[in-house]
Amino acid sequence: MVLPFVQDLLGLLDAKTQLVAVQSPATERNILLEAFLQAMKQPLYFWNAGGQQIQTIQRSNHSIQLVINDYQTVDDVLAFILLRYTDGCFVLEGLLNVDDQDELSATQIAKLVDAFYVLRTLPDVRIILIEDTLKLPLQLVPLIPVLIHALPSVDVIAQIVHSVCQRFLDAPEASQKLNQVCLGLPLGELQLVLTRYISSCADVDDLMRSLLTYKVSKLQQRGLEFMAQPDVRPMGLDLLEAILDRDCALLSPDAQKYGLSLPKGILLWGPPGTGKSLSAKYAASKMGVPLLAANWGSLRSPKPGQSERNLDFLLDQCCNNAPIVLFFDDFDKGFAGWNSDADGGIEGRLANKLLTWMQERTHPVYVIATCNRLEKLPPELIRRFDTIVFVDLPHASARKDIFEVHLAKYFPSDDSLFADSEWRKLLKATHLCTPAEIALMVRKTAQEVFYQGRPGQCTIADLLEQRSLVVPAMIREEEAILAIRNRASFARPAASPDRSQWAIPEQRLFQNVTMSMNDSHSEDN
């Protein structure tokens, strides 16, 4: 298989560029060496920081083989190559390892600078540096061009999936879903993981769950925080769900064939506890991709330049592991001082870096951010989101659906738990409650009836008792939440108007006053 960047590499070498860096994961080593061996006509050698031995790269029985000609360990490999002056191309792995400060040592930088100039006197010697993550210091940027071993294309993924998982792909839909889950994995890693799981998985759904778990576990080991799959789906947000469905469809490989790409993201705005975070989890679940939770406040560091490096790492990991959902919860709380210099301008620099990334990125990273106070966010950042949706308090029909989905977790029953008259009483009592507060009431009810020795049995009185113990945020923080709801017209609604049997009939303003005036007029006559 011809790798896309190999032609660029050959072009650089033909142009007398003798020192080149390639960014590629460790799982791709044999794939890279195979490509180099196929493309280059001069002897090919390999060295890495682990073995520290010069090995000859050759082909044996249609596979790559590394042959140790001299068991002498070579610590300073650059000096060894330049002093021995052996014609050939040397592939060096691990020579650009950085320290705890994410920087290359001054000694190593000096050695690479010297190597660049010495190589100009050795026309038949070439050096290729391969590294999992590359971030060259400014001194080396003009001297060492960097090539990136890109992730496999959709077509390549489809070929690999078809060759390894053919027994699972009995329907086109199954093949398309599996291809989608495999996006974001390098070629060699994809082959390893598919081969590892194919024998232990019963069907394609089981295989997709295993792959998704693997991707989440892999990124958690890099210090990133992931949110679990939702235990319930958001209820009563039909318009928001329709938006997410359309956006999810654009992640399909077929959409890319028509030049369509995943939207930049969606901003969910509304009072606390209305289901915004749950909707983000649901979106990631529908896409079949991990949900990376980013804490804007934790990116900041007192060390000079560390805040920017933290954000760079986060964004790089999103792009390297796309498709992925990047989730910012309570986004507005992180931008209190974004336009001031009180913190040395750190907040402003981070905001500007994120703005640029959201505008320029091409990887399928779907950004979902939630906020309570939209006016706290920089206007430039708000414009980066394709859609702004207002998630309000649930109407009566939505509250009933929310109750039912949570009741089913603790009180499973084939039939409705309550009569219509009981439902109306419960819905009226909870008309100011958020989904989070309803979930809390049901959980507390389940705990209480268990304590009373009647687990799995729930009455309307039990729920109303728990309702009496909850002070809704709409009452507790009435002024703040009303201020949020009063600006709802600036966004698209998350739910359609309630037209169910549970809807509260609309009343005309001053209806009672008008009726009293009519009654008084009749008496006068």
Selected residue with higher pLDDT from 329 and 399: 399
What pLDDT sits at residue 220? 66
Q: Over 60: is that where the pLDDT of 320 sits?
A: yes
Selected residue with higher pLDDT from 364 and 337: 364
Contact status, residue 46 vs residue 91, Cβ threshold 8 Å: yes
Confidence of residue 520 (pLDDT cuts 50, 70, 90): very low
Residues 6 or more apart whose CB falls under 8 angstroms from that of 331 comprise 267, 296, 369, 370, 371, 377
As separate numbers, helices (DSSP H) first and strands (DSSP E) second, the chain gives 21, 14
What pLDDT sits at residue 485? 85
Return the bridge partners of 42, or none: none
Selected residue with higher pLDDT from 374 and 86: 374
Q: Which helix (H) or strand (E) holds 130?
A: strand 125-131
What pLDDT sits at residue 1? 53
Confidence of residue 416 (pLDDT cuts 50, 70, 90): low
What pLDDT sits at residue 505? 66
What pLDDT sits at residue 509? 41
Q: Select from 127, 140, 128 the least CA-distant residue to 98.
A: 140
Confidence of residue 514 (pLDDT cuts 50, 70, 90): very low
What pLDDT sits at residue 516? 43
Confidence of residue 187 (pLDDT cuts 50, 70, 90): confident
What pLDDT sits at residue 495? 92
Selected residue with higher pLDDT from 509 and 299: 299
pLDDT tens-digit map of 106-144: 899 999 999 999 999 998 999 999 998 788 889 999 999
What pLDDT sits at residue 4? 72
Cα gap 525→517, rounded to integer Å: 13
Selected residue with higher pLDDT from 224 and 270: 270
Please report how the helices 460-468 and 435-451 are oriented relative to each other, as an axis angle in degrees rounded to 10: 120
Q: Over 60: is that where the pLDDT of 28 sits?
A: yes
Q: Over 70: is that where the pLDDT of 295 sits?
A: yes
Read off the tokens for 415: 């039939």
Percentage of the chain modeled with pLDDT above 70: 88
Query: What 3-state DSSP class applies to 65?
Result: strand
Q: Select from 2, 1, 17 the least CA-distant residue to 128.
A: 17
Selected residue with higher pLDDT from 73 and 177: 73
Q: Over 90: is that where the pLDDT of 465 sits?
A: yes
What pLDDT sits at residue 2? 58
The residue whose two tokens read 């995943």 is 262
Q: Select from 424, 406, 407 the least CA-distant residue to 501.
A: 424
The residue whose two tokens read 């010697």 is 125
Mean pLDDT, residues 511-520: 46
Read off the tokens for 514: 């008008």
Contact status, residue 50 vs residue 29, Cβ threshold 8 Å: no
Read off the tokens for 219: 């990124």
Mean pLDDT, residues 149-159: 83
Least confident of 47-51, 96-100, 281-285, 488-492: 96-100
What pLDDT sits at residue 45? 93
Question: Highest-confidence range of 240-244, 350-354, 508-512, by mean pLDDT?
Answer: 240-244
**Phi, psi torsion values for 8, nearest 5 degrees:** -65, -40
243-249: Cβ within 8 A, 24+ apart: 243/387, 243/389, 243/492, 244/279, 244/282, 244/283, 244/286, 245/286, 247/283, 247/366, 248/283, 248/286, 248/287
Taking residue 398's Cβ as centre, other Cβ atoms within 10 Å add up to 26
Contact status, residue 59 vs residue 37, Cβ threshold 8 Å: yes
Q: Over 80: is that where the pLDDT of 62 sits?
A: no
Contact status, residue 136 vs residue 146, Cβ threshold 8 Å: yes
What pLDDT sits at residue 91? 94
Mean pLDDT, residues 31-36: 89
Q: Over 80: is that where the pLDDT of 73 sits?
A: yes
Return the bridge partners of 369, or none: 267, 328
Cα gap 313→387, rounded to integer Å: 26
Cα gap 418→428, rounded to integer Å: 14
Percentage of the chain modeled with pLDDT above 90: 26
Q: Over 70: is that where the pLDDT of 173 sits?
A: no
pLDDT tens-digit map of 440-451: 999 999 999 999
- Environment class of 345 (CB within 10 Å of its CB; exposed 0-12, middle 13-18, buried 19+): middle
Query: What 3-state DSSP class applies to 92?
Result: strand
Q: Select from 128, 140, 134, 124 the least CA-distant residue to 16.
A: 124
Three-state SS across 206-256?
HHHHHHHHHHHHHHHCCCCEECCCCCCCCCCCHHHHHHHHHHHHCCCHHHH
51-56: Cβ within 8 A, 24+ apart: 52/77, 54/80, 54/90
Cα gap 88→45, rounded to integer Å: 7
Contact status, residue 177 vs residue 165, Cβ threshold 8 Å: no
Taking residue 287's Cβ as centre, other Cβ atoms within 10 Å add up to 22
Q: How many CA atoms lie less than 13 Å away from 518 in the CB half-sphere?
A: 6
Q: Give the DSSP per-residue string, 261-320.
A: ---SEEEEESSTTSSHHHHHHHHHHHHT--EEEE-TGGG--SSTTHHHHHHHHHHHHHHH
Q: Over 60: is that where the pLDDT of 70 sits?
A: yes
Q: Over 70: is that where the pLDDT of 290 sits?
A: yes
What pLDDT sits at residue 513? 43
Mean pLDDT, residues 421-443: 93
What pLDDT sits at residue 522? 46
User: What's the N-to-C CA distance of the chain in angstroms?
Assistant: 97
Confidence of residue 222 (pLDDT cuts 50, 70, 90): low
Q: Select from 103, 364, 389 the least CA-distant residue to 242.
A: 389
Mean pLDDT, residues 89-101: 83
Contact status, residue 390 vs residue 270, Cβ threshold 8 Å: yes
User: What mean pLDDT value characterizes the chain?
Assistant: 83
Read off the tokens for 131: 């590294």
Contact status, residue 258 vs residue 250, Cβ threshold 8 Å: no
Mean pLDDT, residues 212-221: 75
Cα gap 90→88, rounded to integer Å: 6
Cα gap 473→284, rounded to integer Å: 28
